[in-house]
A and B are shown apart, each in its own frame.
Chain A
Amino acid sequence: MTGAQDMTQERPHVIRHARGKRPEFYDTPGLDQAMAMIMTLANELSVLRDRLDSAERVAKASGLDLAAGIETLELDQAALEEREARRQDFLRRLFYLQLKDADEAAQAHTAEGFNQTIADIALQD
Chain B
Amino acid sequence: MLNTFQQADHPILPKATADEAARQEFAKSFKGFIQSTLLPGLTPVYQTRVAKKFERTHGRPPADRRDIRSGMVEDIYFQHYAAANRIAQELLWESVNGSIDRQLPDLIAKARELSAAAKAQLVIPEGFTPPRYVTALDIHCMPGGYCSEVCQDDVSVGALYDRGVYLYAMGYTGPNNDDMGRSVVNYLKRHMPEFKPRRILDMGCTVGHSTLPYKELFPEAEVWGIDVGGPCVRYAHARAAGMGLEVNYAQMNAEETSFPDGHFDLVVSHILLHETSGKAMPKIFAEAHRVLAPGGLMIHADLPPFDLMDPFTQFILDNETWYNNEPFWGAMRDMDQFALAEKAGFDRADVRFDTAPMAVMEFAAAAEGYSQEASEAVAEREFTAGEFAPGGGWEVLIARKPMDRKMAA
List A residues at the B interface (Cβ < 8 Å): 11-20, 22-23, 25-26, 32, 35-36, 39-40, 42-44, 46-47, 50-51, 54
| Cβ of B368 to closest chain A Cβ, rounded Å | 17
Of the residues B79, B88, B101, contact of A13 by C-beta under 8 Å: B101
Cβ-defined contact, B79 with A25, below 8 A: yes
A9 to B129, CA, bound (A): 28
Residue of A12, A20, A40, A54 near B154 (CB, 8 A) is: A12
B322 within 8 A of A: yes
Q: Does B23 contact A (CB under 8 A)?
A: yes
Check if B160 is an interface residue, CB within 8 A of chain A: yes
Q: How far, in angstroms, from A64 to B65 measured CA to CA in the complex?
A: 58
CB contacts (< 8 Å) of B323 on chain A: these are 23
Q: Is B188 an interface residue (CB 8 A)?
A: no
Question: Could you say which residues of chain B place their CB within 8 Å of the CB of A32?
Answer: 83
Q: Does B104 contact A (CB under 8 A)?
A: yes
Q: Are A14 and B27 within 8 A (Cβ)?
A: no
Residue ID in chain B nearest A49 by CB atoms: B22
Q: CA–CA, A58 to B94, complex, Å?
A: 28
* Given A12-B154, A39-B91, A46:B26 Cβ within 8 A: yes
CB neighbours (8 Å) of A13 from chain B are 101, 104, 150
Report the number of A-B residue pairs with Cβ-Cβ less than 8 Å.
Answer: 99
| Residue B194 CB within 8 A of the other chain | no
Q: Is the interface of B mostly helix, strand, loop or mixed?
A: helix
Do A35 and B22 form a contact, CB below 8 Å, given A17-B143, A23-B323?
A: no
Q: Which residues of A contact B342 (CB under 8 A)?
A: none
Chain B contributes a number of interface residues (CB within 8 A of A) equal to 47
Q: Is B358's CB within 8 Å of the partner chain A?
A: no
Q: Are B101 and A26 in contact (CB under 8 A)?
A: no
Pick from B37-45, B134-142, B211-219 the stretch touching chain A. B134-142
B248 to chain A, nearest CB (A): 27
Q: A19-B145, A23-B323 are in contact. Are A39 and B87 (CB under 8 A)?
A: yes
Chain A residues contacting B157 (CB-CB under 8 Å) are: 15
The one of B22, B23, B104 in contact with A14, judged by C-beta atoms closer than 8 angstroms, is B104
Q: Quick one: which of A17, A18, A36, A43 contacts B26, CB cutoff 8 A?
A: A43
Contact residues in B for A36 (Cβ distance below 8 Å): 87, 90
Chain B residues near A43 (CB, 8 Å)? 23, 26-27, 30, 91, 95
User: Could you name 13 residue pairs across A and B whose Cβ atoms are closer than 8 Å?
Assistant: A12-B105, A18-B142, A23-B322, A23-B323, A25-B82, A39-B91, A42-B26, A43-B23, A43-B27, A43-B30, A43-B91, A46-B22, A50-B25
A12 to B101, CA, bound (A): 8
Establish whether residues A16 and B138, one from each chain, have CB atoms under 8 Å apart when the complex forms. no
Q: Would A18 and B141 be within 8 Å (CB), given that A23-B322, A25-B79 are in contact? A: yes
Contacts of B88 in A (CB 8 A): 39
CB pair A11–B26 under 8 Å, yes or no, is: no
CB distance from A39 to the nearest CB of B (A): 5
Within 8 A of A (CB), among B10-34: 18-19, 22-23, 25-27, 29-30
In the bound assembly, the distance between CA atoms of A39 and B89 in angstroms comes to 11
Shortest Cβ distance from residue B76 to the other chain A in the assembled complex, whole angstroms: 8
Q: Please tell me if the beta carbons of A23 and B141 are within 8 angstroms of each other in the complex.
A: no
List CB contacts (< 8 Å) of B121-151 with chain A. 135-138, 141-145, 148, 150-151
- Does residue B86 face the partner (Cβ distance < 8 Å to A)? yes
Q: Nearest chain-B residue to A45 (Cβ)?
A: B26
With A and B bound together, what is the CA distance between A23 and B26 in angstroms? 23
Write out the residue numbers on chain B whose beta carbons fall within 8 Å of the beta carbon of A25: 79-80, 82-83, 86
Contact B138 A19 (CB under 8 A): yes
Q: A12-B105, A14-B144, A25-B86 are in contact. Are A50 and B91 (CB under 8 A)?
A: no
Given contacts A20-B137, A43-B23, A46-B22, contact A14 B160 (CB under 8 A): yes
Does B325 reach chain A (CB closer than 8 Å)? yes
Taking CB atoms, residues of chain A closer than 8 Å to B25 are: 46, 50
A19 touches B137 (CB 8 A): yes
Q: Check A16 against B143 for contact (C-beta < 8 Å).
A: yes
Task: Kindly provide the distance from the CB of B230 to the nearest chain A CB, expressed in whole angstroms.
Answer: 14
Task: Report B-chain residues with C-beta under 8 Å of the C-beta of A18.
Answer: 93, 137-138, 141-145, 325
- Nearest 3 CB-CB pairs, A to B? A15-B144, A12-B151, A18-B138
